[in-house]
Structure 1
Amino acid sequence: MEITTAKSPTISQQRVNCKIEQGIAEVMLSRPEKLNALDLPMFRALEQTLLSLRQLPGLRAVILHGEGRAFSAGLDVKSMLKQPLAALDILKREADEATNLAQRVAYGWHLLPVPVIAVTQGLCFGGGLQIALGADFRFSTPDCRFSVMEIKWGIIPDMSGSVTLRNLMGVDTAMELAMSGRELLAPEAKVLGLVSRVCEDPLAEARAFANDLLGKSPDALAGIKQLYRQAWAHSDEAMLKEETRLQQKILGRPNQWRATLKGLFGWRLRFGARRDLN
């Protein structure tokens, strides 16, 4: 990981690129040929990016987006099936830690003391959606498709989704989306609370919003974020640990494998995954 000065403001590494200008970091998921699907290197790159941003002096805002035609298609299931230890690696949590790797790359945006804006286009599925939900705001193109997709693989949302979804909607709506795995377009997503703003050029609007925030007190912005997060949520640590416990109980059982094989076959038929995700 390289952190540079304003004269050469980039953080670059495999899978994730970050440019910093005037205190605004633009973080880009950079695996466009795979629709920014999440494999172990992507998880590692996101974690390192978050660690670097946390230590970056003068950071004022973050814009998080995906390169190419998708924000993120979610977990690269085929990659994880080829490396079963990778799935265990992202779920591993030390006894003194509240989060595992999978949760940190989503919940970490929630913990940054600056406003974080996720910009979504194309697909925002599964783990990709949970990463976007870790941001404070989500600006989306009208045709972006969203899905709490984990049920298609026979698993539960376990990248801090239990915490971030409860902050945005009622429990019945959150369960309906998680149990059905259905897709919804940005206008409906906005009505349900998944999306903050629907616009034709969400990246331009995110940049304008971030630049407007530069004129505000960074202490006040940090205080507002901390205050409102506390007001809307409680017992985050317990929920994050419960996600991991339930997921580890589900993974590898016959029902989960049947759902994964069914999901992979359906994905190939619908989205041409043979080309995009292999």
Structure 2
Amino acid sequence: MDTILLERRDPILLIQLNRPQKLNAINREMLQEIQAALEDVRADERIRIIVLTGNERAFSVGADIELFASATPATLPTVHSDLHYWETLHHFPKPLIAAVSGYVYGGGLELALACDLIVASDTARFASPEIRLGLIPGAGGTQHLARRLGKYRAMELVLTGREFTAQEALAMGLVTRVVPAGQYLDEALRLAQEIAQHSPAAIRAAKLAIISGPEMSWEAAMRFERELFHLTFSTPEAQEAVRAFLESRRQRRDSSQ
């Protein structure tokens, strides 16, 4: 891996973007390596959650503009397309936590938004600045922002391209937690450990229900959630937890008599 660093901390895989000289600008190689790292642990039950980070100066400033040097309007959606790499992120079944600091711009913001949770340093600065180049976000930015923030706030951020702070992002509901500089990665790892204590099947089912439900009608989403509930109920972890709970309650009742 040339553009990312990997560290296994079972049950966590830590992926660190590693183009510091380019402020972690995203190129095709970086997306390929992120995809390969995710596919490598997709079926690995020892890894239950992924933490994706950069460095204190920059999570990522976005797409490496050099990518467009050899692209044309005809090749951009074909031979130069990177959509399949982003789809791996968007459909990855295990939880992804972004731990961000410094610049979280453009494609870097889209990379963070492709994750399920975002822990931010109070120095993080976010922006969707593609409009300044006569472009729009192309890796889910408009859709993530519109679905998470609503039409009007998404319009403002995308059409102005303005920078906003970690505290603003928290107030919007765009990030999960904001912590002092220097603590954001530790906080993301603590959150990952807390989540990883629970049943992997239940974690995956909960993620799928939360992501898929808003795309359905209320009735369809309720049926889908119930189907996932039935599937998790049949797992050994759930059956054992139910038995342990009932046994503990019986013991408490007996000791009180």
- With the shorter chain as reference, the TM-score category is 0.7 to 0.9
Kept after mapping to 2: 8 A contact 1:40/1:86: no
Task: Report the CA distance shift for 1:221/1:53 in structure 2 as closer, same or farther (over 3 A).
Answer: same
**1:161-240, aligned counterparts within 5 Å?**
161-200=141-180, 201-233=183-215
Shift of 1:116: 1.0
1:71 to 59, 79, 86: 59
1:199-255: per-residue Cα shift (whole Å, max 9, x none)? 1111111111111122211111111100111122359xxxxxxxxxxxxxxxxxxxx
Correspondence 1:33 to 2:15: no
Q: SS in structure 2 opposite 1:112?
A: coil
Alignment partners' CA distance in 1, 2:28 and 2:70: 9
Correspondence 1:92 to 2:68: no
Correspondence 1:83 to 2:70: yes
Shift of 1:179: 0.6
Map of 1:129 onto structure 2: 109
Unmatched 5+ residue regions in structure 1?
1-12, 94-99, 236-278
Alignment partners' CA distance in 2, 1:190 and 1:87: 39
Shift of 1:111: 1.8
Task: Report the CA distance shift for 1:120/1:129 in structure 2 as closer, same or farther (over 3 A).
Answer: same
Give the TM-score taking structure 2 as reference length.
Answer: 0.76
RMSD of Structure 2 on Structure 1 (CA): 2.3
Of structures 1 and 2, the one scoring higher in RCO (CA 8 A, sep 6+) is 1
Count residues in correspondence. Answer: 214
Alignment partners' CA distance in 2, 1:122 and 1:31: 14
Correspondence 1:118 to 2:83: no
Map of 1:47 onto structure 2: 35
Q: SS in structure 2 opposite 1:25?
A: strand
Q: Whose radius of gyration is greater, 1 or 2? A: 2
Unmatched 5+ residue regions in structure 2?
218-257
- Structure 2 letter corresponding to 1:225: K
Kept after mapping to 2: 8 A contact 1:31/1:67: no
Correspondence 1:24 to 2:6: no
Task: Report the CA distance shift for 1:88/1:53 in structure 2 as closer, same or farther (over 3 A).
Answer: farther
Q: SS in structure 2 opposite 1:75?
A: coil
